[in-house]
Amino acid sequence: MEKTFIILKPDAVQRQLVGQIISRFEQHGLKIVAMKFLQVPLSLAEEHYAVHKERPFFKSLIEYITASPVVAMVLEGPNAIQMARNVVGATNPLDAAPGTIRGDFGMEIGRNLVHASDGPDTAKAEIALWFGDDIVDYQRALEPWILE
Ligand code: UDP
Ligand code: MG
């Protein structure tokens, strides 16, 4: 079973799309195992996006992610990382397929609504950075109807 890290970015909160976006993940069968609502401190934003530090969009990206509260969560399931990326869609909403979150709700790359980990190493590091060990272990009653 794999875990992935998701952020509903400030535009998702401001546009009151939190419920609709979480539903997209839930209806796929991805299991919520951690969630919190927070104003992202500058230090956390810079550490989370450290890989993009030298990119021209870094400053605007940090301003974006710290502009308003976010919802951060950890989702679990078989191949959860790729599944969540599929649900989220391509980075630029212009390229994101209809039916994906970015494809259905987004207009521009700098307002693309959601973050999802891009691989096993980043997922592990991001979950540790944002949640430490605060992952909730529980059983879903419908599990056998979601996973064979
Ligand atoms: N981003 C941007 N301009 C760009 C590329 C990326 O504003 O030209 C922002 C966008 O919010 C994106 C984030 O930086 O989601 C991280 O970029 P990455 O390439 O990791 O995309 P993601 O993994 O989020 O699809
Ligand atoms: Mg990325």
| Domain harbouring 76, CATH code | 3.30.70.141
Residue 93 lies in a domain: yes
pLDDT at 86: 98
Residue 32 lies in a domain: yes
Residue 63 lies in a domain: yes
User: Counting Cβ atoms within 10 Å, is residue 110 exposed (0-12), middle (13-18) or buried (19+)?
Assistant: middle
Residue 141 lies in a domain: no
pTM of the model: 0.98
Residue 83 is which amino acid?
M
- Residue 65 belongs to domain spanning: 2-135
List, as one string, the DSSP characters of 71-92.
EEEEEEETTHHHHHHHHH--SS
Residue 121 lies in a domain: yes
**51-91 per-position pLDDT tens digit:** 999 999 999 999 999 999 999 999 999 999 999 999 999 99
pLDDT at 5: 99
28 part of the active site: no
Residue 47 lies in a domain: yes
pLDDT at 60: 98
**Pocket perturbation via mutation, ligand 1, pick of 5, 57, 60, 92 by most ligand atoms within 8 A of CB:** 57
For the chain, give the mean pLDDT: 98
Residue 124 lies in a domain: yes
Other C-beta atoms lying within 10 Å of the C-beta of residue 30: 24
102 lines ligand 1 (CB under 6 A): no
61 lines ligand 1 (CB under 6 A): yes
In eight-state DSSP terms, residue 56 is: T
Mean pLDDT score, 99-125 = 98
What spacing in Å lies between the alpha carbon of 20 and ligand 2's midpoint?
Answer: 22
Interaxial angle between packed helices 18-28 and 80-88, expressed in degrees from 0 to 180 and rounded to the nearest 10 = 140
pLDDT at 64: 98
pLDDT at 138: 97
Ligand 1 atom at minimum distance from 115 CA: 24
How many Å apart are CA 108 and CA 96, to the nearest integer? 10
111 lines ligand 1 (CB under 6 A): no
Please give the tally of structural domains in the chain.
Answer: 1
Residue 82 lies in a domain: yes
